[in-house]
Structures are given as C-alpha cells and as structure tokens.
Chain A
Amino acid sequence: DAGVIQSPRHEVTEMGQEVTLRCKPISGHNSLFWYRQTMMRGLELLIYFNNNVPIDDSGMPEDRFSAKMPNASFSTLKIQPSEPRDSAVYFCASSLFRLGTSGYNEQFFGPGTRLTVL
C-alpha cells in the first residue's frame, strides 16, 4: 500500500519566490494535516482538514501561508512570498477520523519536504 506521498522531497528557493508543497494522503483517509518541524520550535501543526474542509488553521504563521484541499486525494501548502525563516521540514500526515472518538486513529506521516529559503 502506498503511504502518504509528498513532493518535492527537497526544495531550495530564493527569498520572495512562491513555494508550493504537495501531498497525496492515504486512500480512504478523511483527515489531512500539515506540520512544520524546526530545531527551534519542534513539530508544529499548521492546519488540518476533515473531509476536505479546513477545521483548524490557527497554526498557520501568517497570511503568506495558505493551504487547500480540492479533493480527498490532494492537498497543497503554498508560501508566497517565501522568507528564510520559513526554512524547515514540512510534513503532511493523514488519518481516518471517526467522530466522537479519541481512539486508535494514528496519523501516518509522509517523508517530508525539506525547504530551504536562501
């Protein structure tokens, strides 16, 4: 079975450029998460979707960041314009969420995109 797929795996760009990160969740999963990991701040949840609808975007740093999920099998995280402080590893994760439970629905993570903004 294919896991969560992220592309690109590595991205190097210059300050001011637009960056688009892509994610394909595991088929059948209905929740999708975008995380950012840095040495300073650890693993931060940026936004998550249930059934393609954004539920909580309180972790999105600022208006330069936007995320979309046009269908159940694809999501993007866009940074425009990018800044050096956006350099981090960005993870996408998916899970099968069942309403009313706190139970066994672990998140499966993609391999991450290592973003470097010069």
Chain B
Amino acid sequence: AQKITQTQPGMFVQEKEAVTLDCTYDTSDQSYGLFWYKQPSSGEMIFLIYQGSYDEQNATEGRYSLNFQKARKSANLVISASQLGDSAMYFCAMRERTSGSRLTFGEGTQLTVNP
C-alpha cells in the first residue's frame, strides 16, 4: 500500500489566491513526522514545513501552513496569497519512528500559478 498519497497530479491557482495541496498518509506508528518539499523547474528540493504527529497545533511557516487532521491521516499544504514563483512540484513526505532516518515521498503535485 502507498504510504503517501497525493491525489492531485496538477493544480492551477490564480495569483494572490490561496491553494490547498492534498496529502494523505498511512502508518501504524504513533510517532511520525510529515514534511513538504518544493521542487521548482531548476530541480533543487527545498524544505518548506514540518508537522510532528504529537504537535497539537498546525505548523505554519510564512505563507505556508499545514492542515493536519490526524484522525483522517491527512496533512494538506495550504499556500496563501500565491505568487508566480510558487509554480513548482510539491512533494509530501513522511518519516516514521520505526523507519529510522528514511523519508517516504509521495508522487508530487505540479502547481501552476497563473497571473
């Protein structure tokens, strides 16, 4: 079974609007972490935001926030006030306590911000 599922291969949003990128995960561990990475067309992988399974509040980093719904096993990324530079591939990833340092990545969502 897929551990990380990103059901949106592509998303479009108008500049200055908010967008939500979906991520659901599957784990039997009680302790785990969820990460979002951005990969622009230049190819580098950029860490955006982290949410721990025991964190009671949703993580926020500037215009990025993580809508963490533990019971539903979802960790959606919300980007507010989209900018043209946000156009990129976005990957959700999970680290489980029992898997050591390993991160498991989803297939990614290609976000396009239209002017």
Interface residue ranges, A against B (CB under 8 Å): 31, 33, 42-43, 45, 48, 50, 55-56, 89, 91, 93, 95, 97, 100-109, 111-112, 114
Contact = CB atoms under 8 A, between A and B. Distances in A.
A102 B104 CA distance: 13
Given A42-B105, A45-B103, A101 B43 contact: no
Contacts of A33: 101, 103
Contacts, number: 64
A112 B37 CA distance: 15
A106 B101 contact: no
Nearest to A94: B101
B100 A55 contact: yes
Interface string B23-49: 000000101110101000001111100
A95 B45 contact: no
B45 A104 contact: no
Given A42-B107, A45-B103, A56-B102, A111 B47 contact: no
B101 A31 contact: yes
A53 B15 CA distance: 46
A106 B100 contact: no
B22 interface: no
A106 B102 contact: no
Contacts of A104: 33, 50, 52
A56 B44 contact: no
